[in-house]
Amino acid sequence: ASTESQKDRLVTEEEWLRKWETGNIGFHKEQGHPLFQQYLDVLLNGRSGLRVFFPLCGKAVEMKWLADMGHSVVGVEVSEQALKEFFVEHNLPYCEEPVPEISGAKMLQSISGNITLYCCSIYDLSSSIVGKFDGVWDRGALVAVNPCDRQRYVSLMITLMEKNSSYLLVTVSYDPNKHKGPPFYVPESEIKSLFG
């Protein structure tokens, strides 16, 4: 299947915000993603106290699971509503503060300090702001970024990873001529060329 039919597709930040506002969030999994449980050992690799990054995190329940296991979780999402819903739905008290390095951005952090969620564009983040990570759970990010932004996204992700980090990536396989995305179709060959 050719991804040619999707290469010029653009989804704006406003469209993503509207999805959250209208509850059009079929991509959110209330029970968590089954592949997370299946491959959790690959991500953790017997290690404890990891820093794990959730790009375009929404209100992913896996963030709470990892925090409860003693790991530190950092996520980024443009929808403040999604982030606040995450804390409310898990009865987690949190504080909110601006991010001085990013105009208009907010950081929402659990009072316990092990879950930190940034409300901004992922492209505004850098390792100088969020540090580096031992693991990444990319359940719907690479397939959600606009095809023209994939290289920029992957380049950023690589700069956020520690040397021995694990990157769990979920993609979707389908005929891109029959669905305009998102989620976008990202063939394995492209994943390999993007990440090296």
Mark the binding-site residues for S-adenosyl-L-methionine, compressed into ranges. 16-27, 56, 77, 121-122, 139
Order across the sheet with 72-77: list the strands: 94-98, 106-110, 115-119, 72-77, 51-54, 133-138, 161-169
Q: For residues 162 and 147, what is the distance between their CA atoms, to the nearest angstrom?
A: 25
Report angle CA 1, 33, 111 to the nearest 5 degrees: 130
Conformational region of residue 119, where left means phi above 0, alpha means psi within -120 to 50, and beta covers everything else: beta
Going from the C-alpha of 36 to that of each of 41, 105, 122, 138, 150, the distances in angstroms are: 9, 29, 22, 10, 23
Tokens representing residue 143 in the block = 């397939």
Coil, strand or helix: which one is 70? coil
Strand pairing report for 161-169 and 106-110: unpaired
Q: For residues 29 and 170, what is the distance between their CA atoms, to the nearest angstrom?
A: 13
Known binding residues are 16-27, 56, 77, 121-122, 139
